[in-house]
Amino acid sequence: MVIASDRALGRWENEGGGLARELRDQFPGVRDWHYLDTAATAQKPQAVIDACTRAMGEDYATVHRGVYARSANMTLAYEAARRRVAAFIGGKEDEIVFVRGATEAINLVAQCVSKINRDSPYFNKGHRILLSQLEHHSNIVPWQLAGYAIDVCPLTADGRIDLDAAEAMLSEDHVLVAFAHVSNVLGSVLDAKRAAALAHKVGAKLLLDGCQAVPRLPVNVADLDCDFYVFSGHKLYGPTGIGALWGRQELLDAMPPYQGGGSMIDRVTFAKTTYAPAPTRFEAGTPAIVEVMGLHAAIDYVDAIGLDAIHAHETELVRQTRDALRAINSITLYGPDDAAGIVSFSMEGVHPHDIGTILDEEGPNGSGVAIRAGHHCAQPLMEHLGVPATARASFGIYNDESDVAALVRGLERVKRIFG
């Protein structure tokens, strides 16, 4: 897989992200386009596209079923991808469950924990969960559907989860704490190790929504001391329809299956079915074979560049953007100055949808600046901020200073139109 030369990768590290223009050529979807919506979904490098094409073409076969050579080879590749995901986040192979994305992963944990044997030594007997005001709907609705009693942790003035408040709120009635590692709206980064310590102090487990963290920050679940970690592949420069749930082995072993069907069984009779051990018991049906191959390629791609370098690059773009937008007196910025890759804002007297529409018209053929405008699947956070919606610019490894400049030019045009 060709990513970039060692010389080029070294220049990225030495110049703090000056390679973005060169890397952009490896992303067919962003050439001549100021794409600032990576927090919604990342564009795909050619290496990932090629990996998916091979997996769907000359390499394609089912996994875990065929005795013929190509099926055996694809099974080996599929399980190698599981090991790659585990290594990427510091877990173990048997602790990785492949899912369609973080949404399914959280639903899986919510449903399975709610149905465990309440004599399990691994979980509190209570049925309460602590969430925060900045959570994505995917980290709210699944817990409601599973019948948990939800407590809501407030935010600090600069948009971080208030862990002092969390400490005061937590009790032995809480079975779980579920927080975003990085906010998808504010870009604020959770002190995950402290969150884990607070949860464990009362016997609760910590689930981290890592969708916005894994493309931007080095993640090691052992060091974070969390109990579950979830993320989606499509935000990590991989395909849609694939993601991962990491869970401690003893916790996965204590949880009953989420869905029934092929692959997740040990023995089936009409009288009784017994189930395979984790993680297989949570992977019913024919899996997303092609997407898993794409996820493996995406992780290889990101690792070759280096998450420390990516984080430094995006941090500089966030700094430039916040400084530039702060100079426009009609703009209100949300979240902390050290946000990870994300800048949310509003403009006085202009709906974010109008901002997004006008920005998109800036370039040739309407392909100008692409941002997200709306509630970002975080309506409780919008209520907390006192706005119906925000505009959001989010960065990836293919962005550079020219994208920031195009955003600022577009916002100045918006201001003139509505001024």
- Residues taking part in catalysis: 377
What value, to the nearest 5°, has the Cα angle with vertex 39 and ends 176 and 399?
A: 145
109 phi and psi angles, rounded to 5 deg: -65, -45
* Secondary structure class of 125 (helix, strand, coil): coil
Q: How far apart are CA 234 and CA 102, in angstroms?
A: 10
DSSP for 63-123, please give it: SSS--SHHHHHHHHHHHHHHHHHHHHHT--GGGEEEESSHHHHHHHHHHHHHTS-TT-TTS
* Tokens linked to 344: 């949310």
* Tokens linked to 199: 């949860």
- Backbone Cα Rg of the chain: 22
Give the residue carrying structure tokens 């109990």. 227
Closest CA to 21 of 405, 401, 306, 404: 401
Q: How far is CA 209 from CA 19, 89, 180, 227, 353, in A?
A: 29, 13, 5, 11, 27
What value, to the nearest 5°, has the Cα angle with vertex 325 and ends 321 and 331?
A: 140
Give the residue carrying structure tokens 């959001």. 392
Q: Strands 265-268, 243-247: parallel, antiparallel or unpaired by DSSP?
A: unpaired
Length of the chain (residues)? 419
Give how far the C-alpha of residue 339 lies from the chain's centroid of Cα atoms, to the nearest Å: 15
